[in-house]
């Protein structure tokens, strides 16, 4: 009887460990900022979906383009209709991995500098990207953050000549994610 109890306890603990290998959110925050002498443009999206596999360091993101919120409604309309064509290209995605995953111990609280590399698809164009960031482990919770530039022309986003000086050629993107264990 004692052996059966131990075996059941081990199986339950193994199931818990396997269960907590993936972390997830539907409320990731992504923002971008474009600064020119004429105008600053900023937008925020708090509906990014992301999965982090803590066994391999693989991560994926999906962001609905129409979920970006601007200070001015007209900017949001132009962003979706004229530049991002969000009816044709409704989301941006990233599929990649933390390059230095073996240096991270998610069982220990701490802040871990990371380098993430993978394929980002935006406006129907896929580019390989690499970015540095920070992974924070605190009380079993995992959060991630990063800031990186995106060159608008790399993703075939055309800016009309009449507003070309209002929009930066390189846009700063900020990401902040608070993950939770993925429940099945």
Quickly tell me which residue has 């953050």 as its tokens: 145
* Cα 174 from Cα 42, distance rounded (Å): 11
| pTM for this model (two decimals) | 0.84
Q: Establish if 16 belongs to a structural domain.
A: no
Q: Establish if 95 belongs to a structural domain.
A: yes
Closest of 69, 51, 63 to residue 90, by C-alpha: 63
**Cα distances (Å, whole numbers) of residue 36 to 22, 65, 70, 158, 174:** 40, 22, 17, 17, 18
Q: Give the CATH number for residue 165.
A: 2.40.128.110
Tell me the per-residue pLDDT of 11-54, one tens digit each, with 9 for 90 and over.
Answer: 444 443 444 599 999 999 999 999 988 889 999 999 999 999 99
Tell me the per-residue pLDDT of 143-168, one tens digit each, with 9 for 90 and over.
Answer: 999 999 999 999 999 887 888 888 88
Q: Establish if 1 belongs to a structural domain.
A: no
Q: Which residues, listed in sequence order, are joined to residue 171 by a DSSP beta bridge? A: 150
Q: Establish if 106 belongs to a structural domain.
A: yes
Q: Establish if 103 belongs to a structural domain.
A: yes
Residue 81: domain span? 22-181
Tell me the per-residue pLDDT of 64-118, one tens digit each, with 9 for 90 and over.
Answer: 999 999 999 999 999 999 899 999 999 999 999 999 999 999 999 999 999 999 9
Return all residues near 97 (Cβ < 8 A) that are at least 6 apart.
Answer: 56, 57, 58, 59, 116, 117, 118
Instruction: Tell me how many domains the chain contains.
Output: 1
Which phi-psi region, left, alpha or beta, contains residue 152 (left: φ > 0; alpha: ψ -120 to 50)?
Answer: alpha
């Amino acid at each position: 009887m004692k052996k059966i109890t131990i075996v059941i306890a081990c199986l339950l603990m193994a199931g818990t460990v396997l269960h907590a290998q993936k972390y997830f959110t539907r409320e990731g925050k992504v923002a971008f900022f474009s600064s020119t002498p004429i105008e600053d443009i900023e937008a925020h999206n708090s509906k990014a979906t992301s999965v982090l596999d803590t066994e391999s360091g693989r991560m994926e993101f999906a962001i609905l383009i129409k979920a970006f919120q601007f200070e001015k409604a007209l900017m949001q309309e132009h962003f979706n209709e004229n530049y991002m064509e969000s009816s044709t290209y409704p989301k941006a995605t990233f599929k990649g991995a933390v390059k230095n995953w073996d240096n991270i111990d998610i069982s220990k609280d701490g802040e871990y500098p990371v380098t993430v590399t993978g394929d980002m698809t935006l406006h129907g164009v896929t580019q390989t990207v690499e970015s540095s960031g920070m992974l924070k482990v605190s009380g079993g919770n995992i959060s991630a953050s990063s800031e990186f530039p995106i060159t608008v022309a790399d993703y075939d986003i055309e800016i009309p000549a009449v507003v070309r000086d209002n929009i930066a050629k390189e846009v700063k993107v900020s990401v902040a994610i608070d993950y939770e264990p993925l429940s099945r």
